[in-house]
Amino acid sequence: MDTIQTDVVIVGGGVTGVVAALAARRAGARTILLESRTFVGGNATTGLCLHSFLTRDRRQVVYGIAQEIVDRLQALGGAVGHIPYDGFVSAVTPVDGDIFRITVTEMLAEAGVQIIYGCNVVGVDANDGFVNHLDVAMKGGIRRIEARSFIDSTGDGDVAAYAGATVRTGDSTTGKMQPVSMLMRFFNVDTRRIANEIGEVNPAMATKNGGEPFPVYFNGTFSKWNDVIREERIFPNEDHKVFFNTTWPNQINVNTSAVFNVDGTDPLALSKATVELTQQVRKAGDFLVKHVPGFEGGYYIPAIFAGVRETRNVLGQYEIQDEDVLSGRKFEDTIGEICFPVDIHDPDTGQATFHDIGGDGAFDVPYRSLVPKGFSNLLVAGRCISATSFAHGATRNMAPCMVTGQAAGVAAARSVRTNAPTGKIDVAGLQEELREGGAYLGQLAA
């Protein structure tokens, strides 16, 4: 069996893995990023916003590589910055998915990260909490990848689960998972008219190249069209919620589809859901063109893959608790702050509910929540970090994922450099290295 060797292997090339790979390589580690798809960037490539960099009182707490990406996107017209919004969040960060994909691919190449596309982990060799190697399937067969440190940024905690880590799947009481969804991207539309028709609050407005302001984010419901929705069975419920974002005045991303009772770790179930979501997008898209002002003459395409909100969370040395979020708790071993509200889409109806973060509007992520319990050279980052199902509603979003990705990348490189187990590295040194990389750690707990 062919073997590939390196210092740090990161599995999963979504926003978490991209940032983790950049951080690890910049910290001096030879770094390989494995991605099952043929592109990196994950959900950001579908046009989802990079929520959220700013607290409820519009104090920015997310910086570092995440901000660097936004700055580069903005210079290329692929972002409009952090825009104030008086909705369930106080500011939004919309991005163009295609420009995001191009930009982060370039950044990884500039840093010297080796990307291997079309690569799936099919086995993990681990003994007594030490990961020896991964078995990966790629064109040409099964290969072995050896490294000194591993980062699981798969979202689903695949590597940790294969290695035997303790995981929780779905809600801690019911086991149910939030629904999966698929965005659609509309072209040739009038975003101002759409916002006037559907927006529940004033839309987030931005300008590009000195042009007229246009709406870049708003959310609302289709309550005006309940009779049509009921008669034509467009959605499973009335007063159906919908979320819009864009970086262009004549294009818009629409987030309103949902399929329930899907285990995102089951490829057969997820494949079936993807077919159903594509059909939903077609039905919803036709409804918008036919009934909603601003969409006349528009045309649309579905996102290339389904978005999964919730599957596994890996039990770490510390599990982020509900109260940590609700009180805005600070930790001595913080690696960054999260300010996105708890966002939970009901497993049975898909309707979203939001819970604000307490305290000063942000809570710390302790480094221990990135360290799977009982493991010495494995870290988790992104959606699968150690958190309760309620706290996961905040930690799973993309800005938080980039925060944990940068920390995991630096920590993995530091573990290699100092020859220390990942759970026993010098946290004060890690924190200083993160600050040097532009990250914001907030006010350390006393």
pLDDT of res. 444: 61
Beta-sheet pairing, 363-366 with 378-380? unpaired
- The Cα–Cα gap between 1 and 422 comes to 28
- The Cα–Cα gap between 374 and 129 comes to 5
Q: Which candidate, 406, 434, 335, 336, places its Cα nearest to that of 21?
A: 406
User: What beta strand segments (E) does 229-295 contain?
Assistant: 241-245, 251-255
**Angle CA(173)–CA(179)–CA(396) in degrees, nearest 5?**
75
Cβ-based neighbour number of residue 305 at 10 Å:
17
pLDDT (mean) for 240-257:
94
Partner residues linked to 11 by β-bridges: 34, 152
- Contact between 293 and 299 (Cβ < 8 Å): no
- Contact between 226 and 236 (Cβ < 8 Å): no
pLDDT of res. 270: 96
- Contact between 151 and 8 (Cβ < 8 Å): yes
Asked whether the predicted pLDDT for residue 319 surpasses 90, the reply is yes
Confidence of residue 446 (pLDDT cuts 50, 70, 90): very low
- Domains present along the chain, CATH in parentheses: 3-173+310-436 (3.50.50.60), 184-302 (no CATH)
- Residues 324/325/331/336 CA torsion (nearest 10 deg): 160
- Contact between 251 and 186 (Cβ < 8 Å): yes
- Cis geometry, peptide bond prior to residue 181 (ω within 30 degrees of 0): no
> For 113, which DSSP code?
P
Cβ contacts of 57 within 8 Å, gap of 6 or more: 90, 360, 361
Q: Determine which of 337-341, 349-353, 363-367, 437-441 has the lowest per-residue pLDDT on average.
A: 349-353
pLDDT digits over 140-191, tens only? Answer: 999 999 999 999 999 999 999 999 999 999 998 899 999 999 999 999 999 9
> For 170, which DSSP code?
S
- Contact between 405 and 382 (Cβ < 8 Å): yes
Phi, psi of 34 (to 5 degrees): -100, 130
pLDDT of res. 409: 98
- The Cα–Cα gap between 341 and 361 comes to 9
DSSP 282-314: HHHHHHHHHHSTT-TT-EEEE-SS-B----EEE
Asked whether the predicted pLDDT for residue 269 surpasses 70, the reply is yes
Q: Is the pTM of this model over 0.75?
A: yes
The SS3 call for residue 417 is helix
> For 54, which DSSP code?
B
pLDDT of res. 442: 86
Q: Determine which of 15-29, 138-152, 235-249 has the lowest per-residue pLDDT on average.
A: 235-249
Cβ-based neighbour number of residue 282 at 10 Å:
13
pLDDT (mean) for 88-93:
94
Asked whether the predicted pLDDT for residue 445 surpasses 50, the reply is no
* Average pLDDT along the chain: 95
Q: What percent of the chain lies above the pLDDT cut of 90? A: 91
DSSP 297-362: T-EEEE-SS-B----EEE-BSSPBPHHHHHHT---TTEEEEE-SPEEEE-TTT--EEEE---TTS-
pLDDT (mean) for 241-251:
95
- Contact between 401 and 151 (Cβ < 8 Å): no
- The Cα–Cα gap between 236 and 258 comes to 9
- The Cα–Cα gap between 80 and 75 comes to 9
The pair of three-digit structure tokens given for residue 392, joined into one six-digit string: 């996961």
pLDDT digits over 37-76, tens only? Answer: 999 999 999 989 998 999 999 999 999 999 999 999 999 9
Give the end-to-end CA distance of the chain in Å, rounded to a whole number.
Answer: 51
C-alpha 275, offset from chain centre: 22
In the numeric block, the tokens 């040097």 are attached to 436
pLDDT (mean) for 377-403:
97
Partner residues linked to 313 by β-bridges: 168
Measured over all CA atoms, what is the biggest interatomic distance in the chain, rounded to whole angstroms? 65
> Which amino acid is residue 367, in one-letter code?
Y
